[in-house]
Amino acid sequence: MQRDVIIACDFKSAEDTFKFLDLFRDEARKPFLKIGMELFYAEGPEIVREIKRRGHKIFLDLKLHDIPNTVKKAMAVLSRLDVDMCNVHAAGTIEMMKAALEGLTRADGTRPLLIAVTQLTSTSEERMRSELLIDASINDTIVKYAQNTRDAGLDGVVCSPLEAGMVHAACGEGFLTITPGVRFADGDVADQVRVTTPARAREIGSDFIVVGRPITAAEDPVAAYRRCVAEFVG
């Protein structure tokens, strides 16, 4: 799997998104983009189609978590949208993840990559214990959820770049790690806590880094994207 930089398009509207994407019109390398809930719920599937028409790969980050039959049917719809990567919550169980994979697989056997969220980075060990009644450590939980994800036949997990080595050790080098929380060494951390640079993420073994504000809020987003690619992809 080729390492790549995925830009998180955390914009509120199609207008803002296309204003940003227009900056990349002349780039030889069309950036891989992440579309999340805010933009998808605001603009619907048409924004996915339009971005595909412009030649970008898309990670549709909708984090599905429901009964297996519902997830399977929803995934079949997303698969017809021709996205390149989508995701579910591993907490939905192995059965749900298998159903997601089935729904996603097209008649000709092809399908987008499917990855799972283990524990959200916003969930602390303390809250896991007091609210979710999970007594295991956060790292043990992440490894177990990653193993469940692999056993269900999915392609990888979203995790912190600092956890990518641990996940690869438990699930194999071919199991993908998609990692947000990336900042330039001289950049603003904003609200992220456990961050690392694109170069360090590469050393630890991330397969894809998801980068939002260091690119979208940069004075020159194209230059920031190029810098990310140079550091991470090489």
Binding site for ligand C5P (CB under 6 A): 8, 10, 36, 120-121, 158, 180-181, 192, 210-214
Contact (Cβ atoms closer than 8 angstroms) between residue 177 and residue 146:
no
- Which position among 12, 30, 34, 63 bears the catalytic label? 63
In the complex, residue closest to ligand C5P by CB: 212
Least distance CB 40 / ligand C5P (angstroms): 12
- Cβ-based nearer residue to ligand C5P, 96 or 228: 228
Q: Can you list the positions of beta strands (E) in the chain?
A: 4-8, 32-36, 58-64, 85-89, 113-117, 156-158, 176-179, 208-211
Q: For residue 30, indicate whether it is catalytic.
A: no
- Cβ-based nearer residue to ligand C5P, 72 or 206: 206
- Cβ-based nearer residue to ligand C5P, 72 or 176: 176
- Cβ-based nearer residue to ligand C5P, 5 or 104: 5
Contact (Cβ atoms closer than 8 angstroms) between residue 56 and residue 108:
no
Least distance CB 133 / ligand C5P (angstroms): 22
SS3 category, 31: coil
* Sign of the dihedral defined by the CA atoms of residues 118, 123, 125, 126, in that order: negative
Least distance CB 110 / ligand C5P (angstroms): 26
SS3 category, 33: strand
Least distance CB 179 / ligand C5P (angstroms): 9
Closest by CA position to 98, among listed 150, 166, 38, 40: 150
SS3 category, 60: strand
Active site residues: 63
